[in-house]
Amino acid sequence: MDAMGSMLYEGKAKKIFAAARPDQVVHYFKDDATAFNAEKRGTIVDKGVVNNRVSERLFTLIEEKGIPTHFLKRLSDREMLTKKVAIVPVEVVVRNLVAGSLAKRLGLRVGDAIEPAIVEFYYKNDALGDPLVNDDHLRLMNVATPGVLRELRELAHKVNAVLKPFFDERKMQLVDFKLEFGLFHNKLILADEISPDTCRFWDMETGESMDKDRFRKDMGKIEEAYQEVLKRVCG
């Protein structure tokens, strides 16, 4: 039995609890949704259930392809048991198509293909609003060494090579996504979650957003989109 212990941390979308073993934790996926560094807040009904199941499926797939993750098992609708990692405070974003902040920052046309895919680093810091940074900035701040950054970039491309065809088969365009990594016994492994909160998916038939952009931009049919992602990924 994986008894749940005291709460160790509460984030915007998840709570982390101690597990029976000191090197493991339990993630509880909430329905709380935030955007624009938590300036916008709301609830997406059953988002926690969807994100837990979608993350389980994707972490399992990624592990099968030989990339280590923190995932151990799904405990319930909203709870996942993982390895306890020290999170590297870098948000690693992979982009296959132009969208979001990239389109805005560089004036590029939304939907244009990016080949080969690009990787961006954001410094994970709420007070600073998660700024875009380069390798030198991260090295300057002692957040990551050049070796670690090289590995993060490599792992991010490998995850993309696994996920892109998986979503293609499900008639979903994997536009972009954000990954977080952590250290476990001195090894970098994939952590956090992979879900409609952390990815952009466009329906290949209709071009419609099937992700958190529906919440960010008040597009409506948010719950329906999350349920559709669950169906296509896990159904």
Write out the residues near ligand TMP by the rule CB under 6 A. Answer: 93, 99-102, 130, 176-178, 198-200
Q: Which is nearer to ligand TMP, 81 or 179 (CB)?
A: 179
Q: 37 or 43: whose CB is closer to ligand ASP?
A: 37
Amino acid at 217: K
Phi, psi of 143 (to 5 degrees): -80, -40
Point out the residue whose Cβ comes nearest to ligand TMP. Answer: 100
Spatial contact of 188 and 148, defined as CB atoms under 8 Å apart:
yes
From the list ligand ASP, ligand TMP, none, pick the one residue 199 interacts with, judged by a Cβ distance below 5 to 8 Å according to partner type.
ligand TMP
Kindly state the smallest distance separating residue 141's Cβ from ligand TMP, in Å. Answer: 19
- Return the one option of ligand ASP, ligand TMP, none that residue 94 interacts with (CB less than 5 to 8 A, by type): none
User: Nearer to ligand ASP by C-beta: 14 or 53?
Assistant: 14
Task: Indicate the pairing of strand 90-97 with strand 187-191.
Answer: unpaired
Please give the structure tokens belonging to residue 112. 């244009």
Name the residues that contact ligand ASP, by CB under 6 A: 12, 34-38, 212, 216
